[in-house]
Structure 1
Amino acid sequence: MAPSGFRRTGLEWFSSLPACLLLLAVVLFSTSSDIHNQMLRGGEQLWSGYYKLRMDPAKPECDANRDIEAAVAEEMAREAPADDPMASLLGTVEKDPADVRLAIERSVADCRSAHASYESLQGQLTAGVKAYRAVELFVADLIAFGLSAQRYILVILVMLCAVTATLTRHHIAMRAMETRLDYTVSLTLQTIANAMLLGSSLIFRQSTLASSTAVSGEELLLHNFWIIGFGCLTLASLYRLFRVPDGLSAGGSLGQAFLSVPLYTVMCLISGTYFAMIGHSSGIGIYLGKMMELADMFLNVGLYVWVGMMLKQTRLATLVFNVFRPWRMPPELLAVVAVLVAAVPTAYTGASGIFVIAAGAVIYSELRAAGARRHLALAATAMSGSLGVVLRPCLLVVVIAYLNREVTTDELFGWGIWVFVLTATMFSLVAVTVNRQSQFNLAPVTDAMPASVLALRPLVPYVLVIIAVVLFYRLALDVKMDEFSAPRLLPVIMLAILVYEHFSRKRRQDDTAGDTDYQGLETSIRGATNDTTAEIGALLLLLGLSVSIGGVIERSHIMEAFPQAFDSAWSAMLLMVVILVILGMIMDAFGAVILVTATVATIAYSSGIHPVHFWMVTLVAFELGYLSPPVALNHLLTRQVVGEAEVLAAQQEGGTFYQRHERIIMPLIAMGISLVLVAFVPLLFYAN
């Protein structure tokens, strides 16, 4: 991991600009379906029967002026003579002329009706209809292209961003590369892992071509994209291996050097070695290919990261914290407020890790500016995304409902509110009791309230911008803000906020006490995309290899060593909690959900655990896993966004054992107690 210095290099236009265009394409393609639906409705309102005008009508080939008498005579002439012995033998019955006439008359009437409809449609095909139809059909083609292009966009985005993360040393690892030994070990293993990914993709392609099943051109193109991408990734790590940066110290220990190896590399080496040992060298390629089945989900992850990075470019977080500053809250209480407020945007970013990447730096800097000690600020930052994953419209919950027919989003979000109340209460109690190191001397209400109300005024334009975008989608496109529309609405909302800030801050910049540090709209979007590119590469590659680790667990049949059903729901729940926390320690949320759906969930259901209860436990257990050593993914992401220097400075601070490890222990106490309550208290009401 390296601090965010990528934007100062000359590579930004080779990665951030294409990444920005790809992300905008995803928003455009997903929005085009809403536009098309409204265009169809509008066309029907403007021209009744518009659906018939979408294509040029075909002229009927029948004769509307057919002579009925001649047709009847011709039909009757085809009849065999009544005294024909062969007709009698075959049982042929002479047709009734009246029936023949009636059938022909109906045929002629239908033909005339078809001609009349054709003439009517031809008359309705005005220049306006043709122009409208051309635009509507173009949008329809754009939707079809967007749906088919999703997989290719995802592959290109993952590979482009992964190469960027490699070149900028931005992958997620247990510790940063500080010495030359760290650098050599890390980049050597990265190169081996990337070559392993390349080899697995090549073998997967060859085995697909050698199979008896026909391979489509699109599937072959997808294979080629993976191969080209991993080839570039291998070359990037090889280039970095021999291009040692300045500033690395000499020496170092081998044990610490291995901790500098990115997590995706470790997962790749483990899964690649396992698949090679069982004679299934294409295994990694196959499981990475499974990402394509949920391409829209992984693209949404990229959009959420982009939204968070655009949030960093705005003054929104600072203005929100300004509302609470007049109360002069002690750091512990302010940390509680920050985590509770962060729950709402977390629900809109899909997973806690995504939110930490997206907004962790903002939360940490604001807490530090408000006087919070480093350990407390780091703990709150790591936990900032842990409470909102159970709230609507969290993408992770939507994926759970999509993969499991036993539950619905309404059920999960309904109970998620109560889980949020519980976890928020536990965190608040831990923060203000166990964690308390300051005096609770709040400002008088008479002083704080007017200042807080005054601090709300700068937030009003932001609220109006958000409402305007949401109303536009609701009224113009008939799209409401929910868990399904959030990925495409949020980028538009953040772009609208950046545009508003551009004009408002530009006006202030012209004043004598203006915003002299503001660089402009293009700089803000470019800076957000620069940060997004490296973060997406680190996160999505980790997520993809997490799916591969899930494949190792699945194929090794580890879960078969456990009973497929327990007589006691209590015993089953105890095992579930242990397994789910361990999975949270070693896997990303989305990959872990896919694995749990295929393995652990069926055991829980068979043991009498209610599906909604099980998935609530799963979400809380995952969050505890992400906060638990030895991996503690959310802490690693926190270090990545706030910088290694801040974490090292916190580790050098003195105090009691708890104070020296507050950033780790505090979240564990809060989420640990919450998990025990969520897991076992409901069993009192329905378990035997």
Structure 2
Amino acid sequence: MEATSRFTLANRSIGEWISSLPTLVILLITIFLASGEIIHSQLLKIGENSWQEYFLLRSNPSEPTCQRDRDIDADVARAIAEREAAAANDPLAGLLGTDIDADAVRRSVIRSQEVCQERWDRYEHVASRITPSVEAFRAVETTVAMAVTELGAYKRLLLCLLLLICAATTTVMRHHIALRPMRTVRDHYVSTLAQLGANSILAVSAIVYREREIMSMADGIQVGHFYLHQFWIAGFTLLAAINIWQLVRPPKNMESGGGWGKALLTIPLYSFMALNAGLRFIMDEYYHGISVYLGMIMELSTLFLNLALYIWIGMMLKQTRLAQLVFNVFRPWHMSPELLCFVVLAVTALPTAYTGASGIFVIAAGAVIYAELMRAGARPQMALATTAMSGSMGVVLRPCLVVVIIAALNNAVTTTELFNSGIKVFFFTLFLFFIYSQFARKEPARIAPFGQALPASLKLLKPIIPYVIVLMAVVLFFRFVLDRRLDEFSAPIILPVVLLAILVYEYVLTPRARREAHAEEDLAEGIDRPRNLEQAVRRATNETTGHIGALLILMAMSACVGGIIERSGMMENVPDAFPSIWIAMAMLVATLVFIGMIMDPLGAVILVNATLAQIAFANGIAPLHFWIVTLVAFELGYLTPPVALNHLLTRQVVGDDEVENAKVSHGSFWVRYEKYLLPMAVMFTALILIAFMPLLFDGLHDWLFQKIDVSAQIIPLD
């Protein structure tokens, strides 16, 4: 944080103590909760395999209250006497009979004594088996069970705290996502005042919502998670207070002057959304509308916490040498820039899928991708285009989080079906990029001779082998020790452990001499890399905090915009039935691209599932076809101005000055705006062909969108 960076405590800034450290704790708790149940299940299996009937040993048995050394004759005589006394006092005893079966009484006493003895035998048997080793093991097992149960009930609070802490950090750092960065004093005041207005609306909405819920409880209506209101109110008030402080103390490095038009573009996107949503809700006298939709996001707390984990994964990947080593493998081939861009998109598709969403991978590896492409001689505009697209190609591949959300929200499609269709779409889109890039090339395509490049490339694969070993070791540990495969459900749990293990390998297990050699290489190439494990994790977490704040609050406000669209009745004006399936698809494609231009993927999927999906199905569009079209349309939206989120994130990691220097003021329209036009051309062509060609050819439709018999497969849900 700016204001606290000069003060340190235990070699850490105050900002790290109050933002990065809590963020790290929340992320680690999230990993524990996500894997806690399976860990507890494995502990129970270990306990049962180690000690028979372990479930009886999990707690100290209670000593039986009955007396096992009893005088049978005395007990029988006492029981008969009690019955005789009861019969004497019963006026109906004469009618019912007063004979007492002494043998029956004796059998009852004997049986009671046998049951008592069995209880004592069982107690002594169990108590004798509770050894110190059992006590130590069950202390661990029961602690895990209690922690999972107790903490699992507070996932909403974890997400609330994560969003507010990171949003406050992002606000202090002035790291929110906007169409252009702040450069002038006027930019600062316009952007900060807009944020102050947005955060004030959010705080007022939270206060009103709390008052409404208090009224509901007074009327006897049950309200869940009421305690969260205090956190929302305090958090949004803190954000507003930070804005006031920034207005009072503007940064000293701002340029003087500035135009009003450019200043408006520095307003963060979340502020635009919050102001528009807040004002619309106020006009509808629905003053707490924003808070209501924030509460709906809390229902999906697990998904948003997983998204935060994916961001952390990306930032840890950024601290490793892995991306650089992978690029080194391609250097001996001396490929032409266009061909190298094609290879980069093919290689980065899988890590894009494993980092959850397109924007996260751009943040994680965008700077490395851009630098390597520029080193290979790529045009700046094409390097920026490829960097922005590097986060778009893999969203249809396993185990992308957006696809998992689609399958979780409706039963019409499964993740297996979506990923099977997605891999075909991926290769088709990659082929389209190759075609467009070759038509746009400025020099002949080239590649080094196979016999010369292959040996050198294989030699450069050697440094990557340890990383593969570390990856496989962690994956196999989860598979055989915790019984958890690496798939779309477990990726948010396993991948952070993989990256932590890689950091341990690089900064602890690698010999010191080699680490120093790597440091010298990085210094020669202008790469600033941490010196030890603690610095690497700390830097990754610091960057994660800022990015989480920027992305999560944007997604939260995007959900509120979806609420406005839903409440406005805009979707209700769309007819349920169209004259033909072609017109229906055209309308859906245009609407989906527009939604992708203004909303984040998670909020957009939720909105589309509740509105457009039903229209598509009613007009004969197959669910699998519709959702694949949705994914491609969203990616086109993220690459299309005026917002072009992937380009905004590219600018954040590459640098404003670098992007400004990459601008071309002469040449054709394509040359001047290639960074936008190339991705748009590729994704638009893919979208049109994927949307309409399967409607024309049934065979293509059946091949591209093949349904799978769900009853014949077992989908892991844990």
TM-score range, shorter chain: over 0.9
Cα deviation 1:474-527 (Å, max 9, x = unaligned) = 222222211111112111111111121113273225569955845222222222
The structural deviation recorded for 1:541 is 0.5
- Equivalent residue number for residue 580 of structure 2: 568
Structure 1's unaligned 5+ residue stretches are: none
Equivalent residue in structure 2 for 1:44, among 22, 41, 48: 48
Partners of 2:370 and 2:98 in 1: CA distance: 94
Alignment of 1:45-124 (within 5 A): 45-62=49-66, 67=72, 109-124=114-129
Q: Counterparts of 1:125 and 1:604 in 2: how far apart (Å)? A: 62
| 1:170 partner letter | H
Alpha-carbon distance in 2 for matches of 1:396, 1:168: 29
Distance 1:74 1:335, change over 3 A: farther
Residue 609 of structure 1 is matched in structure 2 by: 621
1:306 and 1:358 in contact (8 A); partners too:
no
Q: How does 1:413-452 map to 2 (within 5 A)?
A: 413-432=419-438, 434-452=439-457
Q: CA deviation at 1:334?
A: 0.7
Q: Secondary structure at the match of 1:219?
A: coil
**1:557–1:512 Cα change, 3 Å:** closer
| Match of residue 344 from structure 2 | 338
- Distance in 2 (CA, whole Å) between partners of 1:27 and 1:516 is 32
Cα deviation, residue 14, structure 1: 3.3
Among the aligned pairs, what percent are the same residue?
A: 48
Task: Give the 5 Å matches for 1:221-300.
Answer: 221-300=227-306
**Superposed displacement of residue 118, structure 1:** 2.1
Describe the SS at the equivalent of 1:119. helix
CA distance in 1, matches of 2:624, 2:98: 69
Residues 409 and 101 from structure 1, CA distance in 2 versus in 1: closer, same or farther, beyond 3 angstroms?
farther
**Partner of 2:596 in structure 1?**
584
Once the two structures are superposed, residues 413-467 of structure 1 have per-residue CA deviations (whole angstroms, 9 ceiling, x without a partner) of 22222222222222222222x3222211211111100100011001011111111
Contact 1:505 1:515 in 2 (8 A): no
What corresponds to 2:150 in structure 1?
A: 145
2:112, 2:375 → 1: CA distance?
85
User: 2-side partners of 1:512 and 1:431: how far apart?
Assistant: 34
Q: Following TM superposition, by how much is the alpha carbon of 1:72 offset from its aligned partner in structure 2, in angstroms?
A: 8.2
- CA offsets, 1:275-294, max 9 Å, x none? 11111111111111222111
How many Å apart are 1:240 and its aligned residue?
Answer: 1.6
**Aligned counterparts of 2:109 and 2:676: Cα–Cα separation in 1:** 88
2:130 to 125, 128, 131: 125
Alpha-carbon deviation of 1:234?
0.7
Distance 1:18 1:678, change over 3 A: same
> Of 635, 638, 647, which aligns to 2:650?
638
* 1:536-580 Cα shifts (integer Å, max 9, x gaps): 111001000011111111111211111224463333222211111
Matched, 1:460 2:469: no
Distance, in Å, in 1 between the alignment partners of 2:431 and 2:656 is: 31
2:201 match? 196
Q: Distance in 2 between matches of 1:606 and 1:95?
A: 79
Change (3 A) 1:568 1:58: farther
Deviation of 1:98 after TM superposition, in Å, equals 8.8
TM-score, normalised relative to structure 2: 0.88
Q: Among residues 35, 39, 47, which one is paired with 1:35 in the alignment?
A: 39
The one-letter code of the counterpart of 1:357 is I
144-153 or 206-215, which moves further after superposition?
206-215
2:531 is equivalent to residue 527 of structure 1? no
Match of 2:688 in 1: 676
Gaps of 5+ in 2: 524-528, 703-718
- 8 Å contact from structure 1 (residues 209, 215) kept in 2: no
Question: Closer, same or farther in 2 for the Cα pair 1:455/1:653, shift >3 Å?
Answer: farther
Alignment of 1:356-395 (within 5 A): 356-395=362-401
Secondary structure of the residue aligned to 1:174 is coil
RMSD of aligned residue pairs (Cα, Å): 3.0
8 Å CA contact retained: 1:508, 1:515: no
Instruction: Select between 666-675 and 64-73 the one with higher mean Cα deviation.
Output: 64-73
* Residue 323 of structure 2: aligned partner: 317
Deviates more, 1:32-41 or 1:325-334: 32-41
Call closer, same or farther: CA 1:123–1:274 in 2, change over 3 Å: same
1:634-679 residue CA offsets vs partner (Å, 9 max, x unmatched)? 1111111111112211224532211111111111111111111221
- Of 98-107 and 152-161, deviating more is 98-107
* Separation of aligned partners in 2, 1:471 and 1:512: 29
Asked if residue 489 in structure 1 is aligned to residue 494 in structure 2, the reply is yes
Change (3 A) 1:146 1:107: same
Change (3 A) 1:535 1:513: closer
| Corresponding residue SS for 1:681 | helix
Count matched residues: 681
What is the aligned partner in structure 1 of residue 334 from structure 2? 328
Q: CA deviation at 1:251?
A: 2.7
Structure 1 residues 107 and 495: CA distance shift in structure 2, 3 A:
same
Partner AA of 2:254 in structure 1: L
Aligned to 1:667: 679
CA displacement at 1:533 relative to structure 2:
1.3
1:306–1:528 CA contact under 8 A, matched in 2? yes
* 2:184 and 2:254 in contact (8 A); partners too: yes
- 1:388 match: secondary structure: coil
TM-score, normalised with respect to structure 1: 0.92
Contact 2:170 2:547 in 1 (8 A): yes
1:302 to 295, 308, 316: 308
The one-letter code of the counterpart of 1:674 is A
1:139 and 1:126 map into 2 onto residues whose CA distance is: 20
Larger mean Cα displacement after TM superposition, 487-496 or 70-79: 70-79
Is the Cα–Cα contact under 8 Å of residues 76 and 105 in structure 2 kept in the other structure?
A: no
